Structure 1
Amino acid sequence: METKLTALTVVLVITATVTADYVRPQPRKTLHFPWNPKSSSHPQQVHISLAGDKHMRVTWVTRDGSSPSIVEYGISPGKYSSIAQGESTSYQYLFYSSGKIHHTVIGPLEHGTVYFYRCGGQGPEFQLKTPPSQLPITFAVAGDLGQTGWTKSTLDHIDQCKYDVHLLPGDLSYADYMQHRWDTFGELVQPLASARPWMVTEGNHEEESIPLLMDGFESYNARWKMPFEESGSSSNLYYSFEVAGVHVIMLGSYADFDEYSNQYSWLKADLLKVDRRRTPWLVVLFHVPWYNSNWAHQGEGDEMMAAMEPLLYAAGVDIVLAGHVHAYERSERVYNGMPDPCGAVHITIGDGGNREGLAHWYKDPRPKWSVFREASFGHGELRMVNSTHAFWSWHRNDDDEPVRSDQVWITSVASAGCFTKNPELRKMLLAP
């Protein structure tokens, strides 16, 4: 028995501890965006996202409703060998009228290649780099961003990271009903989001519903269209994508998730499609953490965990990333509230720089599954090195200097023999 457990044990090498004399920095004010007049057809708030195999969605906003939704692109500056036609939308929110929001899918694109592109037939030239076709691949991770001085510092640190895709587990702009804040957020992230794909899921600050007047997530869905249709989902609030040997599932904490819901049915179907020989890593993101020893938002993810954790366990999910709690915490592999060598590593990283401040208070004593926790702003970097090993690091935002404060090697569930542990349970849970 001991030999079997040893074979299943996932090696987590912890190489950092909390610095005892660290003084947490003070909150910073919301950023001010001076008026910067541009022509009504000038592309603004440009960001890109993955849109199926070898394709990328380019999104931007213009104030001119007649601007075309075209993207010209090529592999040489100023020389566009291809052109793509897209779609556009707009929305009204009380007294606010959005600009024309363009979504154009370009491709097929070569992997690991720099492309130059222009939106709407005019304006500045942008460049992007497509992700690699195979491992290794690096993800930058930061949730609960907002638009404060700490947000700007966090984005500067991410810009120093040689990453391929940005993952954001909810709470983007903190517009909170003030729709112009969606526009300023688009301006703030454009330098990064126009160059690397940003894959996001919704948080509570994206809901913005007004009973009898406004449905939830209208602004978010109009501005941040993700590849839900490409992944067989019926909602922009949950979807999946594959990139370089990693299958990533973005779940919706604010969409129905019980066993009779569309999201639950979609999740089971999506997990059944995963081929661990082709995509040895399985990563899941959503907003509200399931494993959280902070007093903030305690227990809010329990119902979703009760419904969906057995599915993730049966499928052998490696890493779960969440936000919502404005602090950092990493678990060891855990399932059903207890350490389990075949469970997922849960990471809460809702510390991107929001205006609400940090969640300082943790439960004591520390739960058995909790390995590292700290209330500081920062970002994470997840590098899938090969089919069996990944390296995770969290970089505390220490007065504008990124300080690597937690790091760990993670061995994949698929390589640890976990699929032979309880095949009957897996078959039962994942059966169509």
Structure 2
Amino acid sequence: MEPKLVILTLFLLVCSTVKADGYIRPPPRETLHFPWSPKPSSHPQQVHISLAGDKHMRVSWVTDDKSAPSIVHYGTSPGRYSLMNQGESTSYSYIFYSSGRIHHTVIGPLEPNTVYYYQCGGQGPEFQFKTPPAEFPITFAVAGDLGQTGWTKSTLDHIDQCRYDMHLLPGDLSYADYMQWRWDTFGELVQPLASARPWMVTQGNHERESIPIFKDGFVSYNSRWKMPYEESGSNSNLYYSFEVAGAHVIMLGSYADHDEYSDQYHWLQADLAKVDRKKTPWLLVLFHVPWYNSNEAHQGEGDSMMETMEPLLYAANVDIVLAGHVHAYERSERVNKGNSDPCGAVHITIGDGGNREGLAHKFKEPQPRWSVFREASFGHGELKIVNSTHAYWSWHRNDDDEPVRSDQVWITSLVSSGCIAEKSNGLRKFLMEP
């Protein structure tokens, strides 16, 4: 290997392993190996889907053939495609790496709760997905900090066993950490699930991959995992919102500017002000770095975002906040400003999807009063919103069978609690003030 390449590799490894908070990770877990499997250059790879506005779905995939068309044929019967849409494509380079052609094609309008069959690029295998329902009940699978280890595979296998409509991922997808080919192997790893149900994701610290002077952050993430930011009025793929079956879901960027003068802050104000709780009685928020965290790992990293944005979420009566980053599970009571509050949000840390850095075993003692349940184990969560007033949350430890619920709780919406009426005076002014 040439000296310059050796120095660059060492630099990238240091960038990906040094932790600003000084936290020393437990031993890493087994990393999956992906044997090379040659495919035709126009063969669709890394297929995944995501919502793209009302009644539309974005289909994304990669081809080695730079001239392959960005078309999707689809229909409601196997092998019979009565509909077709043309999309767009992009690519990027990263030091010595050049990506394949990355295709994004929006299809629709689609019927809710319906199975569609589709083919990418006019050739290759047939895929199928099921659209989410238009009304309750709806079930979300939730797992953050996935990576590509044996634990990741176990998490995905468990999620595949549950009956869910959509996957929510609060950051840290591939753990590529500058090694761009890991984005490709991650895409292949999650394809069986991500091509069949929409995956709605936001960025984590492992997506940044910035090299000062040479490369801005998030180029790989933004190129590969395009989310409906334009459809929700955002000017950045790092934060956006969408609505599905009576829930308004907001995906925020822990690593995008979030002070009160930032574009993200003003977008959040406007987005919250537009929420109609009669149409979407449940309001969910996801971001990467948790605000409520009793683990010794990553203490205080979310404080600045919490100070700026928690008043907005509280005023808007956000029901549930889901975060990752800490490689353990924790669930809070309804909380606001560090104290239990019946009109605050339930905060759940679910950064235990299977990453290679290991678990965060050390929790702070004594356990805070707002912390209800915490455990350093790999697993995933399931949120079933039953109706406008009740949702059932469960956490499933990988060490157990998927049907085993290691933690579970019924959550009553703030719509039905009286909190919204109490805080309604001046709410719109607070959310929209400059």
Report if aligned partners of 2:329, 2:350 keep a CA contact under 8 Å in 1. Answer: yes
Letter in 2 for 1:218: V
1:201-240 correspondence to structure 2 within 5 Å = 201-240=202-241
Query: Are residue 243 (structure 1) and residue 244 (structure 2) matched?
Result: yes
Give 1:431 shift: 2.9
2:118 matched to 1:94?
Answer: no
* Kept in 2: contact 1:314–1:425 (CA 8 A): no
Separation in 1, partners of 2:362, 2:252 = 27
Report if aligned partners of 1:154, 1:352 keep a CA contact under 8 Å in 2.
Answer: yes
Structure-1 separation of matches of 2:420 and 2:69: 50
CA positional deviation for 1:236: 0.0
Matches within 5 A, 1:23-422: 28-398=29-399, 403-422=404-423
Measured after TM superposition, the shift of residue 402 of structure 1 is 5.9
Q: Which residue identity is paired with 1:216?
A: G
Q: Deviations over 1:257-289 (max 9, x none)?
A: 011000000000000110000000000000000
**AA partner of residue 142 (structure 1):** A
Structure 1 residue 368, shift from structure 2 partner: 1.0
Shift in Å, 1:399:
6.2
Q: Does the 8 Å contact 1:378/1:402 carry over to 2?
A: no
Higher relative contact order (CA 8 A, sep 6+): 1
Distance 1:111 1:399 in 2: 33
One-letter amino acid matched to 1:318: D
Q: Please, what is the CA RMSD of the aligned residues?
A: 1.2
Equivalence for 1:9? none
**What displacement does 1:426 show?**
2.5
Give runs of ≥4 in structure 1 deviating > 3 Å: 25-28, 399-403, 422-425
1:16-49 deviations in whole A, cap 9, x for unaligned?
Answer: xxxxxxxxx9963100000000000000000000
For the residues of structure 2 that align with 1:347 and 1:413, how far apart are their CA atoms? Answer: 17
Q: CA deviation at 1:425?
A: 5.4
In 2, distance between residues paired with 1:99 and 1:402? 39
- Distance in 2 of aligned mates of 1:323 and 1:408: 19
SS in 2 for 1:175: coil
- How far is the alpha carbon of 1:400 from its aligned partner? 6.8
Residue 210 of structure 1 and its aligned partner are, at CA, apart by: 0.2
Corresponding letter in the other structure for 2:137: P
Residue 3 of structure 2 corresponds to which residue in structure 1?
A: none
Q: Deviation per CA, 1:322-363, whole angstroms, max 9, x where unpaired?
A: 000000000000001000000000000000000000000111
Correspondence for 2:20: none
| Cα distance in 1, alignment partners of residues 56 and 208 from structure 2 | 28
What is the DSSP-based 3-state SS (H/G/I as helix, E as strand, rest coil) of the residue aligned with 1:311? helix
TM-score, normalization: structure 2? Answer: 0.93
**Counterpart Cα distance in 2 of 1:68 and 1:423:** 51
C-alpha displacement of 1:393: 0.1
Q: Which consecutive unaligned segments of at least 5 residues does structure 1 have?
A: 1-24
1:383-431 CA-to-partner distances (Å, cap 9, x unmatched) read 0000000000000010676631000000000110102223345244213
- Matched-pair contact (CA < 8 Å) for 1:397–1:403: no
Q: Secondary structure at the match of 1:60?
A: strand
Distance 2:380 2:166 in 1: 13
For the residue of structure 1 that corresponds to 2:416, the secondary structure is: coil
* Contact 1:310 1:429 (8 Å CA) reproduced: no
Tell whether the 8 Å contact from 1:144 to 1:172 is kept in structure 2 after alignment. Answer: yes
Q: How many residue pairs are counted as aligned between the two chains?
A: 408
Corresponding residue for residue 427 of structure 2: 426
Q: Once the two structures are superposed, what CA deviation does each residue of 1:112-170 show, in whole Å capped at 9, x if it has no partner?
A: 00000000000000000000010100000000000000000000000001000000000
Percent identity, aligned pairs only, is: 81
* 1:166–1:196 contact (8 Å) kept in structure 2: yes
Alpha-carbon displacement from aligned partner over 1:149-200 (angstroms, at most 9, x marks no partner): 0000000000001000000000000000000000000000000000000000
Q: Matched residues in 1 for 2:397 and 2:183: separation? A: 26
CA distance in 2: counterparts of 1:429 and 1:30, whole angstroms: 48
* Residues 363 and 425 of structure 1: CA distance in aligned 2, closer, same or farther (over 3 Å): farther
Mapped partners of 1:431, 1:66: distance in 2:
46
Structure 1 Cα separation of the partners of residues 386 and 331 of structure 2 = 20
Q: Distance in 2 between matches of 1:214 and 1:265?
A: 27
Distance 2:400 2:410 in 1: 27
> What SS class does the counterpart of residue 403 from structure 1 fall into?
coil
Q: Residue type matched to 2:366 in 1?
A: P
Contact 1:140–1:163, Cα closer than 8 Å, also in 2 = yes
